[in-house]
Amino acid sequence: MVNKAALKPAEDFLDFVNASPTPFHAVHTASQQLEAAGYTKIKERDSWASTLVPGGKYYLTRNASTIIAFAVGNKWKSGNPIAMVGAHTDSCCLRLKPVSKRQSEGFIQVGVEAYGGGHWATWFDRDLSFAGRVMVKRADGGMEQKLVKVDRPICRIPNLAVHFGGSTPFEFNKENQLFPIAGLVEAELNRQGKTSEDVKTEESDKADFNPLKNPTERHHPYVVEILAEEAGVKPEDILDFEIVLYDTQKSCLGGLNNELIFSARLDNLMMTYCAVQGLINSTSPQGKSLKDENTIRLIACFDHEEIGSTSAQGADSNILPSVLRRLSVLPSSQETESDSSYDRADQPTHKDVDTSTAFEQSLSSSFLISADMAHSVNPNYAAKYESEHKPQMNKGTVIKINANVRYATNSPGIVLLQELAKRAKKSSGDMRTSGQGVPLQMFVVRNDMPCGSTIGPMLSANTGVRTLDLGNAQLSMHSIRETGGAYDVEYSINLFESFFEHYGELESKIFVD
């Protein structure tokens, strides 16, 4: 008998990932969830001095593809610790080139650029469509961005039949043989009621000057029309866009007992989702109240991890340090009160706090959990894994360790995480009859195998914050279709909730510098 209650967190995650084919959509969906939980949107360009107060819950975005959310404890003081979970919103994908218009042998094709280190062979023979953001003109002369997600198959990258020498593993050139087909030239001309010569004449007759060719010249006009329809604008109102291909097959539960998740973008939307939900749960009426909290609880979900994080919205940018600097000097509730208690002898006033070092004080006592998916043991390739470190799905979150600091984990962090896991709420799918807590696993790569990395080491180096790398176990990482454990979703949510609720208490007991 399948425990339906135990699968509810996984089913909620499926709703999140199905709504989020791009980082823009992931941030939009997370923003909606945060606002429903009472979080208020703020902007980097505004002053926070009169906006942020102890007990408040806030979030901000950059480039609409990176999101940071936080809740300020009522007993917060300048220089206090900040408990953080970091993740990333991007996944390996194919993105339309700036000039994507292609045709060959009677086929309409679109030019694409490979984003990240994807397992591109898995993208062949899949039902692909368009998603991303479109920049459009408004009626008042302004400009705005709109999210689009076309919910029907449009493109497909055809494999080479074995009869013509298609090999296993399939070998191909990413520049010349990764062009999706999107239709037939003749069918498109018939739709328009034009011939090839008509199209050539129209393109040569354009007299209006534009620094760049119009989108309908750089891309197939029907592609622009489809995007305009999704955005609710006219094709001529589209100025430019960032569009990727995504697999239209929806994420779903799988396995004999629905114990598995079959999905695109598990890396890393599963950890992004768990971070958002862990924060929301910790600040909900059912969570530990902010009333007696002396820390700030924060999540940061970055774009561009798959390509190195070096961008204005990546983890290697200034966004997290600048947010932490501003938060570190937030006054306490006593300092913001206007009554006579403000100057009581037993309460510090703002002039008693050395705000010149508050940033460094906060960083030295803070902690970051870098949450990025981990590798489950693959039963068909078990020899590729270190014999004593073979993580399994649905056996708990995986602590990632590397002697060469490809991951930032060290022993104090492991001790902290064990304490947090002991105090975490028991999962709905846990078969124990009593007690609480969630399981953990450990992973190191074999000495004769390469090791990946994530945002943990770079954020630790850039800020000096103590850091631990972890993630849920999955198979087929960077494939268009990945496999994860249905029960691991709740394990991580409960672990992150415990982190936010208990870090302020445990910090001084575990870390002694």
The per-residue pLDDT for 206 is 54
pLDDT tens digits for 482-509? 999 999 999 999 999 999 999 999 999 9
Query: Over the chain (513 residues), what is each successive 10-residue block's mean pLDDT?
Result: 85 98 98 98 95 96 98 96 98 98 96 97 97 95 96 96 74 92 90 62 57 94 97 96 98 97 98 98 86 96 98 98 97 62 41 79 97 98 97 98 97 97 92 88 96 96 98 98 98 98 94 75
The count of other CB atoms within 10 Å of the CB of residue 165 is: 8
Q: Which is nearest to 28 in space by CA: 150, 153, 145?
A: 145
List the Cα angle 272/275/276 in 5-degree steps: 90
The per-residue pLDDT for 198 is 54
By the 10 Å C-beta count (0-12 exposed, 13-18 middle, 19+ buried), 209 is classed as exposed
The per-residue pLDDT for 1 is 56
The whole-angstrom separation of Cα 454 and Cα 458 is 8
The per-residue pLDDT for 432 is 80
H/E element, 253: strand 252-254
What are the φ and ψ backbone dihedral angles of 144, each rounded to 5 degrees? -150, 165
Helices (H) and strands (E) in the chain, counts: 13, 20
- What residues have CB less than 8 Å from 128, skipping those under 6 apart? 94, 153, 154, 155, 156, 157, 180, 245, 246, 247, 248
3-state secondary structure of 266: helix
248, 255 contact by CB (below 8 A):
no
**Structure letter (DSSP) for residue 120:** G
According to DSSP, the β-strands at 482-485 and 440-443 are unpaired
Q: Which is nearest to 486 in space by CA: 257, 216, 302?
A: 257
Both tokens of 24, joined, read: 């823009």
Beta bridge partners of 104: 107
The per-residue pLDDT for 9 is 97
The per-residue pLDDT for 350 is 47
List Cα–Cα distances, 468 to 253, 272, 321, 400, 460, in angstroms.
29, 16, 18, 8, 9
Both tokens of 395, joined, read: 């056996």
Sign of CA dihedral 295, 299, 305, 311: negative
471, 272 contact by CB (below 8 A):
no
The per-residue pLDDT for 346 is 43
User: Can you list the domains of the chain with their CATH numbers?
Assistant: 4-91+264-335+350-510 (3.40.630.10), 93-247 (2.30.250.10)
484, 266 contact by CB (below 8 A):
yes
The whole-angstrom separation of Cα 66 and Cα 146 is 16
DSSP letters along 432-454, please? -SS-----EEEE---TTS-----
The whole-angstrom separation of Cα 333 and Cα 184 is 66
The residue assigned the tokens 């004999």 is: 256
